[in-house]
Structure 1
C-alpha cells in the first residue's frame, strides 16, 4: 500500500499518521485544538531502534562495535526509522498499522511495526521490533512535541519520578541516580511503576501520558514545545541497558495518551 498520510477520527478527535515522514503522528486535534507542534520534524516521531543519544555513535554487541552516523555530533540520536518511509499495512476508521524494515546504517535486518489506535478520549501507540535472523540490542520510544501553549496559560507538567538519571556535560547519563531536580529539563527519569506524566493546559485540556515502561525523558528547554518521551531504556541504553530482540522474542512497547476537556 502507499505511504500517503492517514487520517483517523473518533468523536471530536482526529489524528494524522504520516508513514512517508518517518512513521510519525503529524497532528492530534481534540475539539479543534491541535496538541502537537506542526512541521515535518515535529509531531510525534518513533525513536527506534534506539532512543536519545548513543555516546560517540558507537555501541557494542558482544565483541563487535558498530558505528552509527553522528547526526547530533558528537553523538548519534533518536534512531534511524524517523528518517525513513514506512509502509501502510492496513487502516480502519480508528486504527492504522504501519511497518518499517530496518536498513543501513543499522547493521541488522529487522522489521518495526507501529499500531496507532484512536478513540474519543485516547490515542494508543504500540510498537514492536522483530527479527528472523541474528539477535540484536534495540530500544523503542516516542518523541512527541506538545505545544507549550494552546492559546491560554502555558502547560503544567506533573509527575513523580523515583529518580533522575544524573546528566553529564555530554548530555548523557553518568550512571548515577539522583533525586529529581527542578526543570528546565533535557533529562531521563525512572518511574518503576510505569510512566505517568500529566500535562495540564489550564482551562482547556488535561492529557496523561502513560506507559508500562519505566523510563521517560522530559525535554522542555524550547520555548514553543514540551516533550514527554516514554521509552524502553535510558539514553545510551544500547550500551548500558541493552534489550535484545531475538527470533523468538520481539521487543514491544506501548504508550497511551488520555485526555479530558476542561
Structure 2
C-alpha cells in the first residue's frame, strides 16, 4: 500500500472519534467534522480545555471576532455575512464546517476546507489550511493556519479561540499574565471604537495590542504554567465566564475586515501561527 493510501486509511479510521495525536504525556483530539476544533488537550492526564460542542479550541477564519452588522466591503463590493450573534456576525465560518483531513501521523495533522463551501459560503474562492503539530517531547503544541485566494483578492483574518479551564479540578483558579502596549477601546456595541487606550484591569472581553508579538502566560498555581505565543500583534482576552478563560491570537482586531483589512491575493496568502508551551509546577 502506498504512503498516501496509508495516510488516508489512518485518517478514515480516526475520523469517527476525531484525529488523535500524542507525544510524551500529552494527548489531543482534533475534530475535522466539527469545525476542525481541538476537542481535548490532556497533559499528564489533566484536561486543559473546556468540554462541549461550542468549546475546545476552534479556528476563527476568514474573520475573527465580530463584523459590524455582518457587513464588509472589498473595494466597491458590499457583502453581507450571516448575522449569528445579533446584530453582528462573529468568529468566521470555518468553525461550522467539515474540514478534509489531508494528512496525519502520530504527532502532526493537516486539514483543509474551501471558502466557498455551500454550508457556510464566503463570496470569494480560496482554500484554508490548518496544521496541528505536537512537539516530539509532548511539551508544546503549534497551530498554523493559511488562507489562500484562488481567484479575486479579498480581505481576511485568521486566529484561534481556545477555552482554557479556569480551574483544573483542584487548587486555585488560573492567573493570566501579559503586558500589552495598548487596549482597543470597546464601544457599547462590543466593537472597537478606533481609539487605543491604556490597558485596564479585568474582567475582559477586549482586544489588546502587542507589537513585538503575543505572549500571554496562564498559571494554575501548583499545577501547570502554559504560555501562548504568536508573532501576530493582536490578542483578545476573555475571562468573564466562570468556567473558562480565552486567549485568542488573531491577525487583526475585531471588525478588522472593515477597519484594518489585510488583503489576500493569489500571490500573497495570509498565514498565522500560534504555539502553546507548558511545564508542570
CA deviation vs aligned residue, 1:180-221 (integer Å, no higher than 9, x gap): 000000000000000000000000000000000000000011
Task: From 257, 262, 278, give the equivalent of 1:243.
Answer: 262
CA RMSD of aligned residues (A): 0.8
Structure 2 residue 16 is the aligned partner of structure 1 residue 16:
no
Return 5+ residue gaps in structure 2 as ranges. 1-7
Structure 2 residue 276 is the aligned partner of structure 1 residue 257:
yes
Deviation at 1:105, TM superposition (A): 2.9
With normalisation by structure 2, the TM-score equals: 0.92
Aligned to 1:141: 159
Structure 2 residue 43 is the aligned partner of structure 1 residue 25:
no
3-state SS in 2 of match to 1:187: strand
Say how many residue pairs are matched: 262
Runs of 4+ in 1 over 3 A off after TM superposition: 1-4
Deviation at 1:123, TM superposition (A): 0.5
CA deviation vs aligned residue, 1:111-131 (integer Å, no higher than 9, x gap): 100000012110000000011
Distance 1:25 1:172 in 2: 27
Distance 2:70 2:151 in 1: 24
Distance 2:24 2:111 in 1: 23
Aligned to 1:105: 121
CA deviation vs aligned residue, 1:1-24 (integer Å, no higher than 9, x gap): 545411100000011111001010
Aligned to 2:132: 116
Distance 1:166 1:35 in 2: 30
3-state SS in 2 of match to 1:252: strand
Deviation at 1:42, TM superposition (A): 0.4
3-state SS in 1 of match to 2:84: coil
Bigger Rg over Cα: 2
Structure 2 residue 95 is the aligned partner of structure 1 residue 95:
no
Distance 1:95 1:15 in 2: 11
Task: From 58, 61, 67, give the equivalent of 1:45.
Answer: 58
Distance 1:167 1:207 in 2: 27
| Structure whose residues are more often strand by fraction | 1
Structure 2 residue 185 is the aligned partner of structure 1 residue 166:
yes
Distance 1:255 1:47 in 2: 13
3-state SS in 2 of match to 1:170: coil
Distance 1:13 1:152 in 2: 21
8 Å CA contact 1:69–1:105 kept in 2: the answer is no
Aligned to 1:7: 20
Aligned to 2:215: 196
With normalisation by structure 1, the TM-score equals: 0.99
Distance 1:133 1:106 in 2: 12
Deviation at 1:152, TM superposition (A): 1.3
Aligned to 1:229: 248
Deviation at 1:40, TM superposition (A): 1.1
